[in-house]
């Protein structure tokens, strides 16, 4: 059992973009194995930036702080190395890959991660079997697998495709950036089911969301409120209910009173 051991530790993380604008201003956050953390906060507060920086997206400068993943500082690692070490980001806006068949893309990902773990590439039949099994979890139409990645997919289909990748790659740390936005009620349940079937004591989830809805399906351990690049409040599930009814203004007010 790894429970209660830290999987990722973010210490005093300061991030800016190239024109010098500061976006994250000292984030401290530790996520242990087996936990589900939820990041909420107003638009533009830095939620996606946090997820992007953790996954190694180019274009951000880490000005200060550390990111320890499984005990190792990963700040200088390329995104593909982080992914192979067990990080995963479900994108807020998944990209379209024109001309790249979904099947090919998924197999390349699975093989890259297997090779890193000193496992042989999957044979086509083995991969097809794995894919068949995983695509049923997210109720993905097989026709979509023949198309170019995300090209002509509906918003909901793109999000399901993210969860399909989550199930296939089976990372240790899954960041889900608004995977619940833009889903109809049925799709939301399917996505929640996908996340639930993935999650166990050997991995962790960081979920960025604006809505209470998906939290009813998952059982979050912590809710964090991110405002202006800082975690200004953390609490348990009841905090999300409070936010849903009161919005963010009361938190801003209570911060300015304190300072």
Partner 1 sequence: MNTNLPEQYTQDYKYLNNQIEKIQPKWLNEIRNKAFSNLSKIGFPTQRKGNEKWKYTNISKLAKSSFSFESEESPYIPNKNFITNDSDWTNLIFLNGKLLNNISNFQKADNNITISKFTDALKNPKTSQLIKTHLSKYSQVESDGFTSLNTAFINDGILINIHQDTHITKPIHISFISHSNETPTVSYPRILIIANKNSSSNIIESYIGDSKIDSFTNSVSEIVLDDSAKISHYRLLNESDNTYHIESSRVTLKRNSNFESNSFSRSSKLGRYDLKVNIEGENAYCNLSGLYLTSGNQHIDNFINIDHIKPKGTSRLNYKGILTEKSRAVFGGTVWVREGAIHTDSIQSDKNLLLSEEAEVDSKPALFIYADDVQCAHGATAGNIDAETIFYMRSRGIDLETASKLLINGFANEIINNVDIPELKQQLEKLFLESLPKYKLDF
Ligand X SMILES: Nc1ncnc2c1ncn2[C@@H]1O[C@H](COP(=O)(O)OP(=O)(O)OP(=O)(O)O)[C@@H](O)[C@H]1O
Q: Where along the sequence are the contacts to Mg ion (CB under 5 A)?
A: 47-48, 92
**Minimum CB–partner distance for residue 219 and partner 1 (Å):** 26
148 binds partner 1 (CB under 8 A): yes
The number of angstroms, rounded, from the C-alpha of 88 to the middle of its chain's C-alpha atoms is: 6
The nearer residue to partner 1, 113 or 225, going by C-beta atoms, is: 113
> CA-CA distance, 132 to 208, in Å (whole number)?
28
> CA-CA distance, 243 to 211, in Å (whole number)?
9
**Minimum CB–partner distance for residue 244 and ligand X (Å):** 15
159 binds ligand X (CB under 6 A): no
Backbone angles phi, psi at 83, to 5 degrees: -60, -40
96 binds partner 1 (CB under 8 A): yes
The nearer residue to Mg ion, 168 or 175, going by C-beta atoms, is: 175
> CA-CA distance, 105 to 1, in Å (whole number)?
33
> CA-CA distance, 35 to 204, in Å (whole number)?
5
3-state secondary structure of 167: helix
The nearer residue to ligand X, 61 or 216, going by C-beta atoms, is: 61
Residue 156 binds which entry of partner 1, Mg ion, ligand X, none, CB below 5-8 Å type-dependent: none
**Minimum CB–partner distance for residue 88 and partner 1 (Å):** 8
CB 172 within 8 A of CB 204: yes
> Which stretches of the chain bind ligand X, using CB under 6 A?
17, 23, 41, 43-49, 59, 92
């Amino acid at each position: 059992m790894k429970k209660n051991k830290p999987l990722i530790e973010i210490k005093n993380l300061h991030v800016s973009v190239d024109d010098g604008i500061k976006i994250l201003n000292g984030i401290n956050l530790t996520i242990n194995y087996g936990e589900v953390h939820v990041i909420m906060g107003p638009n533009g507060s830095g939620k996606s930036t946090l997820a992007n920086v953790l996954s190694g997206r180019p274009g951000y400068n880490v000005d200060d702080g550390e990111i320890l993943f499984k005990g190792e500082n990963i700040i200088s690692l390329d995104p593909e190395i982080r992914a192979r070490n067990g990080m995963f980001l479900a994108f807020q806006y998944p990209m379209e890959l024109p001309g790249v068949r979904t099947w090919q893309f998924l197999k390349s990902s699975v093989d890259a991660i297997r090779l890193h773990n000193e496992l042989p590439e999957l044979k086509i039949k083995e991969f097809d079997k794995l894919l068949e099994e995983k695509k049923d979890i997210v109720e993905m139409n097989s026709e979509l697998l023949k198309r170019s990645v995300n090209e002509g997919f509906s918003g909901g289909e793109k999000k399901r495709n993210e969860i399909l990748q989550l199930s296939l790659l089976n990372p240790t740390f899954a960041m889900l950036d608004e995977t619940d936005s833009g889903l109809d009620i049925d799709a939301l349940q399917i996505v929640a089911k996908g996340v639930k079937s993935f999650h166990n004591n050997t991995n962790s989830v960081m979920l960025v969301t604006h809505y209470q809805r998906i939290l009813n399906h998952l059982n979050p351990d912590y809710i964090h409120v991110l405002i202006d690049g800082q975690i200004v409040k953390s609490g348990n599930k009841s905090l999300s209910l409070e936010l849903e009814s009161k919005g963010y203004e009361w938190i801003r007010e209570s911060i300015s009173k304190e300072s």
